[in-house]
């Protein structure tokens, strides 16, 4: 199975940030580690979820990135460069495979309309009913990674 590169994982870590304790993300989800919404026990993170170490957070990240990688492999039917795969896996990690599945982003990738794909990333900047500056920056980084300039 194909996996994200270290550069792709670093992008996720940069935008998720690390928190040993549970916190509410800007979109309103309880989160821990580097963006995990499910704890070590597989249950949804809540305010009562015990803190995690960086090592445990890395385990959570690898678990959740694996889900995102499998979504990309299942939904994308064309060959991808590492940066393209990483950008799509970061997107799926952040928004879920369902968002990728129903997106124009996916259709453009599968039609090999690679020049139009970066603009599709930039459409996904809403969370909790509002445009979020962190998502604007993240989508710009993913767009650049996909285009080979990030």
69-109 tens-digit pLDDT: 999 999 999 999 999 999 999 999 999 999 999 999 999 99
Local structure of residue 41 (DSSP, 8 states): T
* Residue of 6, 25, 58, 113 with catalytic role: 25
Q: How high is the pLDDT of residue 68?
A: 98
Residue 104 CB: number of other CB atoms within 10 A? 13
116 is catalytic: no
Could you state, in order of their start, the residue ranges of all structural domains in the chain?
A: 6-147
Q: What are phi and psi of 49, to 5 degrees?
A: -60, 130
**How confident is the model at residue 27, as a pLDDT?**
81
pTM of the model: 0.95
Q: Which fold has domain 6-147?
A: Lysozyme (1.10.530)
- Annotation says 16 is catalytic: yes
């Amino acid at each position: 199975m194909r996996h994200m590169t270290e550069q792709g994982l670093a992008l996720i870590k940069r935008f998720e940030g690390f928190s040993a304790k549970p916190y509410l993300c800007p979109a309103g989800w309880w989160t821990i580690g580097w963006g995990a919404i499910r704890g070590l026990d597989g249950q949804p993170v809540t305010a009562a979820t015990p803190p995690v170490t960086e090592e445990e957070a890395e385990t959570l990240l690898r678990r959740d990135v694996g889900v995102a990688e499998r979504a990309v492999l299942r939904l994308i039917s064309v060959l991808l460069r590492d940066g393209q795969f990483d950008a799509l896996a970061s997107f799926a990690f952040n928004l879920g495979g369902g968002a990728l599945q129903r997106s124009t982003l996916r259709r453009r990738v599968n039609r090999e309309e690679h020049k139009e794909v970066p603009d599709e990333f930039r459409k996904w900047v809403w969370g909790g009913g509002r445009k979020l500056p962190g998502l604007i920056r993240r989508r710009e980084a993913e767009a650049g990674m996909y285009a080979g300039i990030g």
